[in-house]
Amino acid sequence: MSLRSRLSITVVAGALLAAAAAAPAVANDDWGDSRGEWGHHHHENPRLYKGVVTAGTLNLRSAPNRGSQIIRTAYKGEIVSIFCKTGGETIQGNPLWYLLTDGTWAWGAARYIDNIGAAPRWC
């Protein structure tokens, strides 16, 4: 590759990086309800989604079913990070389960987790 080609690539790459740095951030940083109950949060990883636990206590499990091992427990109002969703054991008419990434990888029944913002992608 010639020096001119390398220089052109470097200049274009630098311009793209400068434009990206100068562009306003587009993020959904208010995941609260209409009353602002959950406040402002920042979406640190664009591959993660957010949800809020609606059950008093929610057992998070090693697989998307109630017979699997309990990894930890989440509590009502807790904001959780969701990696993806999949089908599993149907809980009160809802067959979806979310794979959560809060310190451990564990499955939570979507019946008891309300999405904050966009619905998670499929696993």
Q: What is the mean pLDDT of the chain?
A: 74
Residues 6+ apart with CB under 8 A from 55: 76, 112
Query: pLDDT digits over 41-90, tens only?
Result: 444 566 899 999 999 999 999 999 999 999 999 999 999 999 999 999 99
Strands (E), 9-103: 49-53, 57-61, 70-75, 79-91, 94-100
pLDDT of residue 5: 34
Residue-range domains of the chain with CATH: 1-123 (2.30.30.40)
pLDDT of residue 22: 33
For the chain, the straight-line distance linking the first and the last C-alpha, in angstroms and rounded, comes to 42
Instruction: Please state the pTM of the whole predicted model.
Output: 0.64
Residue 70 has which token pair?
A: 């309990």
Average pLDDT over residues 34-41: 37
Question: What's the CA gap between 61 and 58, in Å, rounded?
Answer: 9
pLDDT of residue 116: 97
> Of 14 and 44, which is predicted with more confidence?
44
> 10 pLDDT exceeds 50?
no
> 33 pLDDT exceeds 80?
no
